[in-house]
Structure 1
């Protein structure tokens, strides 16, 4: 797991309400937003929590720095801790930073390949109204993450960053935007050549061969590419700093006058090199961005023209009213009052026009916003572009799904078309499967930990349509048992590659085909055991039931006679014969 503080670029952008609204917004996705938790607040809803936190922040009038602390806790791909574990981790991290008593809102997000938790913390204490700033937070977070990984048996991660400053920002740009940075390009293409130079002249020649220029700036050195992009030499490596180079090559010598030399290679700001060729796709992306810029400019110009016409019409309308007042109204005071009303009406109309124009401008800027390369690929993949989806999956950051997964090697059987909920920047498709989610990275399907029987059956149908009949299941024993039961209940025409799983599936199918009376563990009451088949089971089987003060209630159907032994049958027969003889003698005595 990794815990990272996301600082605001400026205090003016610090907006606790906007941050909470972002982390609690589902964005029309079924499985983006998980559990939302409010801590140390009296409010019960997110909206009331925002109001309470803002009131606490306004109580501190001395603090000039950012009053909001945005923290992200991210887990390794495939890790899905339980809700209780996530809550405990959130509490321990906040307490470790000194925010245990502070107001905060946390939200779990599932819309990427890594489950992560956003925490919006109010840095102002709710009772003392003092602001707390953690001391060396990156070290505290590294120690906390190490302890939490050990205590909750999570996959170990590297909590000491190898890069900082500009190098770290360049790596983040390549990972999230998919665009190659100058730092990354130099490290991949010519860093060893630069390090191998034995003189300043040779170093400058290496720079020219790669379309670069080395020059002094301030107390250090910078490297500039042909398009004007610059980077500090020490950002590439510590041994390329000015003191280190002067110690090795002597005093700094500026490059000779620049000559027009054909470089062997040069830096071009484009997509990170992938396993597939994306040249044509990137050209379409650039054309689309240019089209967006032109369309936005045209839309803004049209909005400006409509605003100018509306202002002109409002002024003409006001001028006509003033002319009518001047010609048709008598009395200086009356004219003055009417002129004031016209001016107020014109001001209100102009304010409404400007407000409408500002809203339209904001709408156009949002609608025609330029997209990073990775975001454009994601949008195109969502719309069904197979090339864009392949480009996302070809990125080095894509590592494959882990955990409870399903895969196969057979021939697909199309027919099941699930609903796409989202596509991540690594090319993982998140499908809706009942109340759960199924992820597809192109090689295997991953079923979420909260999947119910309907969700597991939907995942199996997707696997049947994608891989065919032979299915391989990987995961916990509980997940495998759930898969076997779902396959048997749905009577899906699949075969598990694991012989043990296949035997259990066939056993369940055979057990389900037997009559109910012959199944192991049949429900009681369907066929009673022999010792209970002719016994008294309900009050309706007795001859009558006398209630105090009531009548005799008789059953609608005579009960079945209980089974009797042979000895009892002989006694009953003898008793019946004696009764018959006695009745015969009594009948003769009465002359019958």
Structure 2
């Protein structure tokens, strides 16, 4: 479990905004599902918007009765998130919220919660009133985020949830579980942290808004930092050479306050800034001035940037699919891949065009609103002056003292000015909400997906996959992934029920018992149930989606099981480190086939000794020429199995068999042309003319294909034999 404190830039003294948000009572949340809600120490139903408004009124009244007012405000908002496939019940949520409140010192305070299940992870929004019913205001602990992380480990141990990485970890000593504080170095050694350059919360928020595209801080710490470090450490380095190197990336380095910042300008005029030390300790102000002397601004012309952050951001938006790419000889998949790449580029271009149109529209509306507000303020002053004399005269007629009348009139004028200011501020806020300063890429994609844009839906699935891939626990998650080129759809699997979650763009497959077996997220199938039946079903779906080639992630035990099962189903495994397991399973299958083939050969020999020879052919209806007459095999010569390579070398028709194998391989790989069928028939007739047994010939080719590709090619072989039969009928004039 993970906990996060939700903070606001402006202090909130009322609970209405927060409660309506988590209850999804706002007008822009109508399309979202209603959450399950509950209360703690608050005897009030939450079933209807009216009930929730009554709860808001109770919380506001309690907060207003506080004996003292704090600068932070009475609203404390925190979220508790469970891991994927963990679904808490109401009793567990109540227990978790009570434990959190006790940990923070809010025991006995009024609180309410709302459970949201329409995301990858079930999470609860907990809103606590810091003001107790007795008027006492509880203080927020200084390191509340740290206390919350420890509380999450305690809740995990109490209810059996999986442990999430954090400052506190669970250790087992002599069969007993304990919670200990871990340093960043220890967490890095355990793989919970990557040990790289840390970015600010604002940069992380920017990455989320841009659907995972690098923030300016992260981009600056990459190639630009390497080039600038080389420039700083070069012999004879100066501020001019450093400015020259920074200009090639559209970056400017300048002092700010007691430090140094690097800035860049986007196409819409916004300026992004990051601390220079974000590139490394060598780029701090003290280190730079020690190496280059006192700061000197850039002078003279600078070179044109070869790479700018704005261009890199646009490129990442256009390519943020993040899905595994597999080279495929199938021309149909190649065509769909090209179409999807073109659609992706057009989608990014359309977003950029709409963004530019919004920017121009906003500028025009903002300019018109500013002029109107200025006219309103200028008109208000003479109007108040004109009313002042009449108002003072009226007050004197009522017997009011002159000084009191002046004071009262000043209060009325200040009230009128304040009302105008508030109304104008509300209008500016409404304009910003209606036409934001800059559209968020992910939000725009979600809007287009709701309108039915399949390209936007695929982009959202790719973003989700990228976020999972970048997480610390990605490699530990058991799953199957590949290149998904089709729209999200339900695929048929026996005994499984599929449900599409259109908002999250995924398909959940559940069994007859109602439990989730696995989830299809587009480019990745995430396993929840690791049984053999579920694994086989997931692999069969992967074969349909990903063109019979997949990558497998997760534990070593799961990866080996999945790789061996994929080989038996005829699915290619792309992981380089699993090829030894693939080869071993293929050898095991060949041995099994050889044993089966030996048994069949012995049975055939026995049947031929006891039954007269029958005509053999590709199908009962085939009309090809009969093979030359062959004397029956002598009963005294037993038929013995020979290793495959030796049998091929000894037989006169081995070349024909290889030609037949090649045509079948082409058919299974996607070449469904009539030329492939005719080539097989020609090789077959050639082998028959050399005295080969027809049925044995077909069985030999089929065994070889299945030995290499697994049982998953059975459907392809069946369709190939049907195509051969149709071709035979056409040659006889019996079909089209």
Q: Which interval holds the TM-score relative to the shorter structure? A: 0.5 to 0.7
Shift of 1:220: 0.9
Shift of 1:103: 1.3
SS in 1 for 2:243: helix
Check if 1:221 corresponds to 2:264.
Answer: no
Shift in CA distance, 157/414, structure 1 to aligned 2, threshold 3 Å: closer
Contact 1:106 1:118 in 2 (8 A): yes
Shift in CA distance, 394/422, structure 1 to aligned 2, threshold 3 Å: closer
Corresponding residue for 2:447? 379
TM-score of the aligned structures, taking structure 1 as reference length: 0.57
Check if 1:254 corresponds to 2:296.
Answer: yes
Q: Structure 1 CA distance, aligned partners of 2:449 and 2:15?
A: 33
* Equivalent residue for 2:58, pick from 33, 52, 56: 52
Q: Structure 2 CA distance, aligned partners of 1:356 and 1:139?
A: 41
Q: Tell which deviates more after alignment, 203-212 or 371-380.
A: 203-212
Contact 1:108 1:117 in 2 (8 A): yes
Check if 1:80 corresponds to 2:150.
Answer: no
Report Cα offsets for 1:387-443 as digits up to 9, x if no partner.
21222222320459999999999998889999966423xx5468999x999964125
Q: Structure 2 CA distance, aligned partners of 1:20 and 1:244?
A: 49
* Equivalent residue for 1:181, pick from 209, 215, 218: 215
Q: Structure 2 CA distance, aligned partners of 1:262 and 1:299?
A: 34
Corresponding residue for 1:195? 229
Shift of 1:39: 0.8
Q: Tell which deviates more after alignment, 102-111 or 252-261.
A: 252-261
Shift in CA distance, 391/421, structure 1 to aligned 2, threshold 3 Å: closer
Shift of 1:29: 5.2
Q: Structure 1 CA distance, aligned partners of 2:289 and 2:366?
A: 54
TM-score of the aligned structures, taking structure 2 as reference length: 0.47
Shift of 1:174: 0.3
Check if 1:90 corresponds to 2:108.
Answer: no
Unaligned runs of 5+ in 1: 305-354, 450-455, 471-494, 498-592
Corresponding residue for 1:137? 144
Report Cα offsets for 1:247-269 as digits up to 9, x if no partner.
5x263342441423122312217
Shift of 1:376: 0.7
Shift in CA distance, 402/445, structure 1 to aligned 2, threshold 3 Å: farther
Unaligned runs of 5+ in 2: 47-51, 168-183, 185-192, 323-340, 371-421, 549-568, 572-736
- Give the number of the structure whose residues are more often helix, by fraction: 2
Corresponding residue for 2:164? 156
* Equivalent residue for 2:110, pick from 89, 96, 103: 103
Shift in CA distance, 442/35, structure 1 to aligned 2, threshold 3 Å: same
Report Cα offsets for 1:516-573 as digits up to 9, x if no partner.
xxxxxxxxxxxxxxxxxxxxxxxxxxxxxxxxxxxxxxxxxxxxxxxxxxxxxxxxxx
Corresponding residue for 1:123? 130
Corresponding residue for 1:314? none
Q: Structure 2 CA distance, aligned partners of 1:302 and 1:52?
A: 42
Corresponding residue for 1:7? 7
Report Cα offsets for 1:36-74 as digits up to 9, x if no partner.
111111323332221111001111253233221111122
Q: Tell which deviates more after alignment, 411-420 or 391-400.
A: 411-420
Check if 1:40 corresponds to 2:52.
Answer: no
Shift of 1:359: 9.9
Structure with higher RCO (Cα < 8 A, 6+ apart): 1
Q: Structure 2 CA distance, aligned partners of 1:105 and 1:172?
A: 27
Corresponding residue for 1:23? 22
Corresponding residue for 1:442? 522
Shift of 1:148: 3.0
Shift of 1:86: 2.8
Q: Structure 1 CA distance, aligned partners of 2:255 and 2:286?
A: 12
Shift in CA distance, 76/251, structure 1 to aligned 2, threshold 3 Å: farther
Shift in CA distance, 74/220, structure 1 to aligned 2, threshold 3 Å: same
Alignment of 1:296-445 (within 5 A): 367-369=434-436, 371-395=439-463, 396-399=466-469, 422-424=502-504, 427-428=505-506, 440-443=520-523
Q: Tell which deviates more after alignment, 114-123 or 435-444.
A: 435-444
Contact 1:421 1:431 in 2 (8 A): no
Shift of 1:106: 0.8
Corresponding residue for 2:380? none
Shift of 1:99: 1.6
RMSD between aligned residues: 5.2
Q: Structure 1 CA distance, aligned partners of 2:507 and 2:308?
A: 36
